[in-house]
């Protein structure tokens, strides 16, 4: 059983499977504190150095480019797409600790998105979206919540 436990621990370290992580985000307004709650359940004993949040905003654009040449019947429709990361940062939510197998943990805190950033919007050609991810800073691949979209309002 000792070898099996060692292999399982190695796999969890590589895949980030040593804990499940969930995130809850409160109402988000530019320039104001945004409440967040992170919950984790340890699938194996795990020493973490921090609980963190990754927050990013991405602007997407899609423009329809239509060229017509009626003399020879040529018609071309092309969509020009692009995206730009407009905000990308890491917030520390809690310091490190040891997580025990089968135990659940919760951390709460706030973070602020500067009021100089753009809020969420979805236009006909351009959109601006916000995403958040909670993670546990651990050896190997960090267990995380995966990216979650959330709305950010203008103040």
Task: Give residue 54's domain range.
Answer: 17-153
Instruction: Please say if the pLDDT value at position 19 is more than 60.
Output: yes
pLDDT band per the 50, 70, 90 thresholds, residue 67: confident
**What's the structural domain count of the chain?**
1
CB contact burial 2-22 (16+ within 10 A = b; e otherwise): eeeeeeeeeebbeebebbebe
Residue 76 counted as domain residue: yes
Q: What is the CATH number of the domain that holds 87?
A: 2.60.40.640
Instruction: Please say if the pLDDT value at position 69 is more than 80.
Output: no
Residue 4 counted as domain residue: no
Coil, strand, or helix at residue 138? coil
Which of 128, 133, 129, 96 has the alpha carbon at shortest distance from 111?
133
pLDDT, position 72? 72
User: Would you tell me how many other CB atoms lie within 10 Å of the CB of residue 87?
Assistant: 18
Q: pTM for the full model?
A: 0.82
Instruction: Please say if the pLDDT value at position 66 is more than 90.
Output: no
Which residues have C-beta within 8 Å of that of residue 93, sequence separation ≥ 6?
A: 36, 38, 50, 51, 52, 53, 107, 109, 111, 134
């Amino acid at each position: 059983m000792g070898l099996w436990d060692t292999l399982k621990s190695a796999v969890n370290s590589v895949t980030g499977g040593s804990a499940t992580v969930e995130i809850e985000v409160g109402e988000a307004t530019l320039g104001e504190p945004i409440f967040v709650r992170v919950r984790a359940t340890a699938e194996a004993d795990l020493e973490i150095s921090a609980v963190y949040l990754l927050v990013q905003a991405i602007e997407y654009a899609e423009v329809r480019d239509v060229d017509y040449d009626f003399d020879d019947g040529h018609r071309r429709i092309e969509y020009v797409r692009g995206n730009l990361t407009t905000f990308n940062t890491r917030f520390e939510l809690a310091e490190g600790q040891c997580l025990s197998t089968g135990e659940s943990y919760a951390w709460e805190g706030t973070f602020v998105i500067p009021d100089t950033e753009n809020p969420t919007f979805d236009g006909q050609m351009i959109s601006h979206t916000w995403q958040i991810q909670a993670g546990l800073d651990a050896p190997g691949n960090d267990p995380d919540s995966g990216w979650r979209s959330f709305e950010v309002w203008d103040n």
